[in-house]
Amino acid sequence: MARTRVVIDTDPGVDDAIAILVALASPELDVVALTTVAGNVDLERTTRNARRLVELSGRSDVVVAAGCAAPLAGVAVHASEVHGNDGLGDLEWDEPSVPLAKEHAVEVLRSLIEEEPLTIVAIGPLTNLALLLELYPDVERRVERVVIMGGASFEGNVTPAAEFNIWFDPEAAERVFAAAWPITLMPLDLTHQAMFNDADLAYLRELGSDVGRRCAAMLEPYAAHHDQWYGQRDIIMHDATAVYELIEPGAITTQAVSVTVETGGQYSRGATWINRRRSQVDGRVRVGLSLDNELFVARLRERLATYPTP
């Protein structure tokens, strides 16, 4: 089977954690690095979390490299009320022994792009990718595809207009969407169809593996947050949709669009302007429209069940 070589650019993040653990357990993917960015929590925490996850998965061959600590403009506003103070639901962890790359995430990305075809799965703010484009503009013609979780057509989750990953760094997102690389975007309109419920948490707990137990424990406060926020405990698995797109090609229906980002706006900073008019799209950017949640959940369960029990 031809494996897709990927780097996951991430701000773990509870839903990032599930996405990463699913990716690392998927034979369709060759995950070569996790590059971290500030977002859900600060860079120090997202980077420590990436190292924790690599260690938990037993995949210490995966490079972890730290990237940008702040958005291109403005100040960082994190989401620890959603993901916990540490970004992973505040569980107890041993200090990870997995090393941190000496190079900046952008340099690691650049080297990996030069070596062999690479797909980037971007599930945090897009600051690292914007810096990559600024320093090495040729990458926009070399990267195979960028699969992004971010944005919304109809309703944001930080403001009525803006979704977190884009809202955190709209200037970076504007540059990423303006570049020539092929993009598949998973906006909130799609991710709100991808849910885990209490039965899925129980399933994970009963797997008897460290991964299963930790996933359930991380997701528990996240479910409580959903209850407070949306009035139901079903968990929106935002970031895992980007991985699902790669491990199950065609399972997410997509549409050609063009995307621009609001960087001004009295109320709408960080909004994604997803234009679906056929005459105004060039086929470079596609947006995820729908998925079958039963199939999605079954695939995630299956992959998370492959981790060993003690």
How many of the other CB atoms lie within 10 Å of CB of 253? Answer: 13
Give the number of other CB atoms < 10 A from CB of residue 145: 19
Shortest spacing between CB 272 and ligand BDR, in angstroms: 11
Decide if 38 contacts 69 (C-beta within 8 A): yes
Binding of Ca ion by 9 (CB under 5 A):
no
Q: Give the residue, chosen from 165, 184, 209, 241, that forms a contact with ligand BDR under the rule CB under 6 A.
A: 165
How many angstroms separate the CA atoms of 206 and 209, rounded? 8
Which of 123, 139, 161, 300 lies at the binding interface for ligand BDR (CB under 6 A)? 123
Please give the residues from 76 up to 105 whose contact with ligand BDR meets the rule CB under 6 A. Answer: 79, 82
Q: Which does 79 bind (CB under 5 to 8 A by kind): ligand BDR, Ca ion, none?
A: ligand BDR
> Would you list the DSSP string of 189-215?
HHHTT-EE-HHHHHHHHHT-SHHHHHH
Smallest distance, Å, CB 146 to ligand BDR?
15
- What does DSSP assign to residue 280? G
Binding segment toward ligand BDR, per CB under 6 A, in 134-142, 162-170, 274-282, 287-295: 162-170
Other CB atoms within 10 Å distance of the CB of residue 44: 13
Verify whether residue 83 is a known catalytic residue: no
Of 15 and 55, which has the nearer Cβ to ligand BDR? 15
Q: Quick one: what does residue 163 bind among ligand BDR, Ca ion, none, with the CB cut-off 5 to 8 Å set by partner type?
A: ligand BDR
Instruction: Give me the sheet containing 272-275, strands edge to edge.
Output: 63-66, 29-36, 4-10, 119-122, 145-149, 183-186, 285-290, 253-261, 272-275
Least gap, CB of 283 to Ca ion (angstroms)? 27
Q: Which is nearer to Ca ion, 163 or 239 (CB)?
A: 239
**Burial class of residue 64 in the structure, from the number of CB atoms within 10 Å of its CB (0-12 exposed, 13-18 middle, 19+ buried):** buried
Among 13, 67, 170, 212, binds Ca ion (CB under 5 A): 13
Residues 237-296 that bind ligand BDR (CB under 6 A): 238-239
Task: Please tell me what DSSP assigns to residue 239.
Answer: T
**From the CB of 306, what's the least distance to Ca ion, in Å?**
23
Question: In the numeric block, which tokens belong to residue 114?
Answer: 């030069």
Q: Is the distance from CB of 98 to CB of 64 less than 8 angstroms?
A: yes
Of 4, 6, 16, 47, which lies in the binding site for ligand BDR, with binding defined by CB under 6 A? 16
Interaction site with Ca ion (CB under 5 A)? 11, 13, 16, 123-124, 239
Task: Tell me which residues are annotated as active site.
Answer: 238
Interaction site with ligand BDR (CB under 6 A)? 13, 15-16, 40, 79, 82, 123, 149, 157, 163-165, 238-239
